[in-house]
Structure 1
Amino acid sequence: MKTFFTRTATALVFVAVMLGGILYSSFTFFLLFFLINFFALQEYFKLIRNIDPEYAGISGWHRNGILIASCALIMAFTGEHFISAANLSLGFLGWWLAVIFLLVMPIGEILLSKEFSLKNMGYSALGLIYITLSLGLLIHLCLNYDSIRFTPTATGTGPGWLIPLLLIIFIWINDTMAYIVGSLIGRTPFAPTISPKKTIEGTLGGMILAVAAAGVYGHYWGQQWLSLQHWLALATIAAVFGTIGDLLESKLKRMAGVKDSGRIMPGHGGFMDRFDSLLLAAPFAWLYVHLFAMI
């Protein structure tokens, strides 16, 4: 019972923080995912250290430099959205910091580390792609598509946070419905060596219900911003790539020999545990919107 109340209280706080950060302003949206990126990347590095102990021997220059470069890249994705009185944008500052650290860091690693390892540099680069690029594209989707009419049939311009928020909701519906359907009728294991509790029936049920929910939203409310087929496509991306993202993080945790990526949220694990599906779904949603849903 204590565990149930702990999980419930944590979930309520989590939802309140997420909604507040996403909806309050464009800056709080940026700040929210800036912090998620920072902590999720540190959890990723911890998983890699458990998978390959050699990574624990990287220099402090490497460890801190990759975090600074990651934060700079997140800033870079804001573009010209936040500009100071001196006409200096956060995006411009981020690009320059990212370029400097990504160019200088390998040199410092060669000079300062006892044993230079391209493999360790690869682990760090993968973290930037897996986490920072994904969340950066989500920020770009919010800040730089704000108030853009996406399709010729749109009757209005939607807020920038609309697609990111609904992408998260579609992922949540998929995960929740997959769990419920799997608990009721799930019989066939989906990926037994990675996630033994996942079933084919539950996975398909979650995907179908997520797309159905998107269809209802798109038909009754969403067509003023996007055509129905785009909402269905975004829900499909959220369900398919969100499921793959969940399996990918589960695989990393199994390789690392841990149950959760972190302990920041009692009863719910770490940042990667909460956003594993979004990390893979966000880049594909960005690509879809950029290539097919804009005019």
Structure 2
Amino acid sequence: MALNLATLKTRSLTAAIFVVVMLGGLLWSHWSFFILFTIIHFGCWKEYQQLIGKIDPDYLGITPFHKYGVRIAGWCIMLYFTNNAFNIGDFSLHAIGWWLGLICVFMLPIIELLFAGNIRLKNIWLSALGLLYISLSWGLMMDLRCFGMIKKGASTYVDFFGYALPCILIFSIWINDTMAYIVGSLIGKTPFSSISPKKTWEGTIGGAVLCVGVMALWGYLSEFLRVIDWMAIAAIAAIAGTAGDLLESKLKRMANVKDSGTLMPGHGGFLDRFDSLLIATPFVWLYVMIFMK
């Protein structure tokens, strides 16, 4: 019992710190948002490469230029999607991402050819998948952040509820996860997937329904955006987020590890915390681009 209480205390403390850091990064300013997701981006990449290395030991043989160069190339995708809304003097992160990304595209293959003893096409594809899985998702998250920034002049933006769409998405995932856990604990009996034995159909469906209901009420009370948009984002977050959780669970099972990292004692690493968001973000972005532009 003492061990359980100690574990619960550790999990509660780290969860509270996590929420405070996340809310601070999300709500303080667009720059805190960028810094937050830059840290998350590199943290996810580190754990992704560790997992892939455990799944396929050949990937451990990539050169340092490949290992760190692909992380920087991925970060350039994030910079590119800031859309000139993030400026430092006369420099925009969008332009920096574009030019630095071009340099990476040309230099990484050349350096790999010069220094790698044995180039494996499989390793290149595994890194490319990481760019799609991690970097593109966080790039699209930056684009969602820019959605609420109103352009004033050629290169000046005013931050007008830019945090709204990312927060609706992230809060939807938090609510879905919480409700799915509660419903699953109370009435869950039917296993949802062998990949994640603790998930049940009752919990998954109950979590999604309650998530959409809570976000619909929140949207109705806030009178910000259409209620249907709140509901759609919540539904996408619940469905795609569950798929993201299962995907990361599959990767961990293939790597034969319990957690992707040790970021939060009792809660796992970056990929454990943001697996749902990684998959949900591109689908929410598509919804916003198609139905909210």
TM-score, length basis structure 1: 0.92
TM-fit CA distance, 1:255: 0.4
Structure 1: gaps spanning 5 or more residues: 149-156
TM-fit CA distance, 1:147: 4.3
* 1:165-207 deviation line (CA, Å, top 9, x unaligned): 1111110111111111111111111102x00111111100000
* Residues in 2 aligned to 1:174 and 1:135: alpha-carbon distance in whole angstroms: 21
Question: Does residue 183 of structure 2 align to residue 172 of structure 1?
Answer: no
Match of 1:188 in 2: 190
Question: Does residue 51 of structure 2 align to residue 47 of structure 1?
Answer: yes
* Residues in 2 aligned to 1:195 and 1:92: alpha-carbon distance in whole angstroms: 42
* Residues in 2 aligned to 1:242 and 1:61: alpha-carbon distance in whole angstroms: 33
TM-fit CA distance, 1:270: 0.2
Match of 1:263 in 2: 262
Output the amino acid matched with 1:261.
S
Question: Does residue 68 of structure 2 align to residue 64 of structure 1?
Answer: yes
1:133-172 alignment to 2 at 5 Å?
133-147=136-150, 159-172=161-174
Question: Does residue 201 of structure 2 align to residue 200 of structure 1?
Answer: yes
Output the amino acid matched with 1:196.
P
Residue among 30, 33, 46 paired with 2:34 = 30
* 1:207-261 deviation line (CA, Å, top 9, x unaligned): 000000111112221x3x3111111111000000000000000000000000000
The alignment partner of 1:191 has SS state of coil
Alpha carbons 1:226, 1:293 under 8 Å: kept: no
Structure 2: gaps spanning 5 or more residues: 152-158
Alpha carbons 2:85, 2:149 under 8 Å: kept: no
TM-fit CA distance, 1:68: 1.5
Aligned length, in residue pairs? 282
* Residues in 1 aligned to 2:94 and 2:160: alpha-carbon distance in whole angstroms: 23
Match of 1:238 in 2: 237
Match of 1:278 in 2: 277
Alpha carbons 1:261, 1:269 under 8 Å: kept: yes
Residue among 123, 127, 132 paired with 1:124 = 127
Alpha carbons 2:137, 2:279 under 8 Å: kept: yes
The alignment partner of 2:257 has SS state of coil
TM-fit CA distance, 1:71: 2.0
* Residues in 1 aligned to 2:197 and 2:147: alpha-carbon distance in whole angstroms: 40
Output the amino acid matched with 2:126.
Y
Match of 1:92 in 2: 95
Structure 1 runs of 4+ aligned residues shifted over 4 Å read none
Could you say what the CA RMSD is over the residues aligned between the two structures, in angstroms?
1.4
* Residues in 2 aligned to 1:145 and 1:102: alpha-carbon distance in whole angstroms: 31
* Residues in 2 aligned to 1:252 and 1:26: alpha-carbon distance in whole angstroms: 32
The alignment partner of 2:197 has SS state of strand
The alignment partner of 2:199 has SS state of strand
Alpha carbons 2:10, 2:265 under 8 Å: kept: yes
* 1:244-288 deviation line (CA, Å, top 9, x unaligned): 000000000000000000001111100000000000001111111
* Residues in 2 aligned to 1:130 and 1:84: alpha-carbon distance in whole angstroms: 28
* Residues in 2 aligned to 1:158 and 1:83: alpha-carbon distance in whole angstroms: 16
Match of 2:21 in 1: 17
* Residues in 2 aligned to 1:78 and 1:21: alpha-carbon distance in whole angstroms: 16
The alignment partner of 1:266 has SS state of coil
TM-fit CA distance, 1:62: 0.7
TM-fit CA distance, 1:158: 5.4
* Residues in 2 aligned to 1:197 and 1:63: alpha-carbon distance in whole angstroms: 34
* Residues in 2 aligned to 1:24 and 1:8: alpha-carbon distance in whole angstroms: 24
* Residues in 1 aligned to 2:267 and 2:150: alpha-carbon distance in whole angstroms: 35
* Residues in 1 aligned to 2:150 and 2:185: alpha-carbon distance in whole angstroms: 41
The alignment partner of 2:141 has SS state of helix
Alpha carbons 1:76, 1:92 under 8 Å: kept: yes
TM-score, length basis structure 2: 0.93
